[in-house]
Amino acid sequence: MTDHAATVPAALLESVVRGWRDLSTRLVQLGRDRPEGDGGVFVNPPITRGSTVLFASLEAMDAAGHRRYDDEQLIYGAMGTPVQHLLEQVIAAIEGGAHAQIVPSGLAACALPLLACLAAGDHCLLSDTVYGPTRRFAEKVLRRFGVEITYFPPLASESELLALARPTTRVIYAESPGSHSFEVQDLRMLGRVARQLDARLIVDNTWGIGLIDPFALGAHISVQALTKYPAGHSDTIIGAVTVASDADWRLLRDTAIQSGQTAGPDDCWLTLRGLRTMGVRQERQAATAIAVALWLQSRPEVARVLHPALPSCPGHENWKRDFTGASSLFGVVFDPAFTGADLMAMIDSLTLFGIGASWGGYESLVLPTTGGISRTCQSVTQDGPACRFHIGLEAGELLIADLARGLDGMSATRRARAGA
Ligand SMILES: *Cc1c(COP(=O)(O)O)cnc(C)c1O
């Protein structure tokens, strides 16, 4: 069997793994106690489970409440436990922000800054390619509270964006690369436009964790589904919102407390543990993913591979400019001569790719991305049957052999149909 990672051009391979390798040392070091004096410390933090926090006096309790913006202050279990605060510090450091708030899911992380930054009568520019449930939150909840929403094409130019803006625009919400269609957005330009409008740029940076500094690029707030690569084992649902400024921190922290956003200490602990190995997992998964993507690109069934590190991906030049590596999640658009049913049968025939929601664990997954996806603007995933692959820690040559069997079968079905 050939080692397919070895067939990836060296410069391309380096461009997808460099950021993960660079991150590894920090992931080992961040957020850990060091031994002092004669005492010893465990490598990992303890888990404290708790609701009530006791104080020596009413005055001390009152003072603690006023220190709710301090990163380590204990007030009440719903406002964070020690391991939650530790995870918050680690995420803030990885994202390059000043403070982070841990929330119980990635979707809660998407919703919290929208709730914090928008009021009735405000206008929100939402990227057309955001995660589906974020779009539904905007449609079903924000609109009900009088917020106006306009969807913008993910690769809209500065003038196109300004033409969609209103005097009431308070938020530009981006997700890069886009959900399912993988457009890499120009965050620098979006940040400039947001400042011009006196609005905030919120970025869902789940795909790019550790590979970009969203704040240096112009974001005010960065959102993470920690459920994905940080937790990394398909066993935890958790999210984070990171901010750069103290004013945004006060707003976000207060909204989190007012809406009861917190996460259980066990989930925080599992996520901290997952983060320790995220660099090495991703170095391997990103290398296998680019090998699989290149192999798919060489197949006659495939029209277009939507992997941000390849020129065939919309917005590739933004990836090249801004990212220090790539994740192991990418899309494929098939030749329109194949039907959606051909693609479904091919997916069902795969043995090493799980069929299921989410991604970021150690196992490979596949999902169709045609049908059932709301878009206002034209999307590349509408050019032919399309699917999304998440590449895990399996051997690349076995994944490729599985896909080869699946695609051979798909072509045979089509030939039989054409001949019939
Ligand atoms: C998965 C995901 C979310 C939601 O995360 P959950 O923890 O599943 O709620 C949000 N944004 C992106 C980009 C995601 O991939």
- Give the mean pLDDT per block of 10 residues along the chain (420 residues): 71 98 96 92 95 97 94 93 97 98 98 98 97 97 98 97 98 97 97 98 98 98 98 98 97 97 97 98 98 98 98 98 98 96 97 96 95 74 91 98 98 89
Q: Quick one: which atom of ligand 1 is closest to the CA of 110? A: 10
Kindly tell me the burial class for residue 353, based on how many C-beta atoms sit within 10 Å of its own C-beta (0-12, 13-18, 19 or more): buried
Cβ(291)–Cβ(7) below 8 Å: yes
Q: Quick one: which atom of ligand 1 is closest to the CA of 238? A: 7
Other beta carbons within 10 Å of 167: 7
Q: Using CA of residue 134, residue 17, residue 356, residue 383, what is the dihedral sign?
A: positive
Q: Helices marked H in 70-124 — which ranges?
A: 82-95, 106-117
Q: Take atom 7 of ligand 1 and give the residue whose Cα is closest.
A: 106
Q: Helices marked H in 167-219 — which ranges?
A: 187-197, 214-217
Mutate to test the pocket of ligand 1, among 206, 233, 234, 238 (most ligand atoms within 8 A of CB): 206
Q: Tell me the CATH number of domain 4-23+277-419, given options 3.40.228.10, 3.40.630.10, 3.40.640.10, 3.90.1150.10.
A: 3.90.1150.10
How many angstroms separate the alpha carbon of residue 206 from the centre of ligand 1?
Answer: 7
Identify the pLDDT of residue 6: 65
Q: Quick one: which atom of ligand 1 is closest to the CA of 175? A: 13
What proportions of the chain, in percent to the nearest 5, are helix, strand and coil? Answer: 45, 15, 40
C-alpha–C-alpha distance, residues 354 and 337, integer Å:
26
Identify the pLDDT of residue 71: 85
Q: Quick one: which atom of ligand 1 is closest to the CA of 108? A: 9
Measured at the CA of 115, the angle between CA 377 and CA 61, to 5 degrees, comes to: 160
How many angstroms separate the alpha carbon of residue 188 from the centre of ligand 1?
Answer: 23
How many angstroms separate the alpha carbon of residue 180 from the centre of ligand 1?
Answer: 12
Q: Tell me the CATH number of domain 82-275, given options 3.40.50.300, 3.30.110.70, 1.10.10.10, 3.40.640.10.
A: 3.40.640.10
Q: What is the DSSP letter of 277?
A: T
Which region, left, alpha or beta, applies to residue 52 given φ > 0 means left and ψ of -120 to 50 means alpha? beta
Comma-separated ranges of CATH 3.90.1150.10 domains in the chain: 4-23+277-419
Identify the pLDDT of residue 248: 97
What are the residues facing 355 on neighbouring strands?
Answer: 366
How many angstroms separate the alpha carbon of residue 186 from the centre of ligand 1?
Answer: 21
How many angstroms separate the alpha carbon of residue 61 from the centre of ligand 1?
Answer: 36
Length reported for the chain? 420
Query: Where does ligand 1 bind, in terms of residues with CB under 6 Å?
Result: 105-107, 110, 131, 175, 204, 206, 225, 227-228, 237, 239, 358
Q: Tell me phi and psi for residue 134, to 5 degrees.
A: -65, -40
Cβ(83)–Cβ(236) below 8 Å: no
Q: Quick one: which atom of ligand 1 is closest to the CA of 239? A: 7
Q: Which tokens belong to 234? A: 């398909």
Which residues are CB-neighbours of 334 under 8 A, at least 6 positions away? Answer: 301, 302, 303, 342, 343, 384, 385, 386, 387
Other beta carbons within 10 Å of 381: 27
Identify the pLDDT of residue 382: 80
Q: Which residue from 51, 90, 97 is spatially nearest to 72, judged by alpha carbons?
A: 90
Identify the pLDDT of residue 418: 87
Identify the pLDDT of residue 1: 44
Helix (H) or strand (E) holding 63: helix 58-66
How many angstroms separate the alpha carbon of residue 41 from the centre of ligand 1?
Answer: 35
Task: For residue 231, give the 3-state DSSP assignment.
Answer: coil
How many angstroms separate the alpha carbon of residue 204 from the centre of ligand 1?
Answer: 9
Comma-separated ranges of CATH 3.40.640.10 domains in the chain: 82-275
Helix (H) or strand (E) holding 330: strand 329-334
C-alpha–C-alpha distance, residues 169 and 167, integer Å:
6
Q: Quick one: which atom of ligand 1 is closest to the CA of 179? A: 13
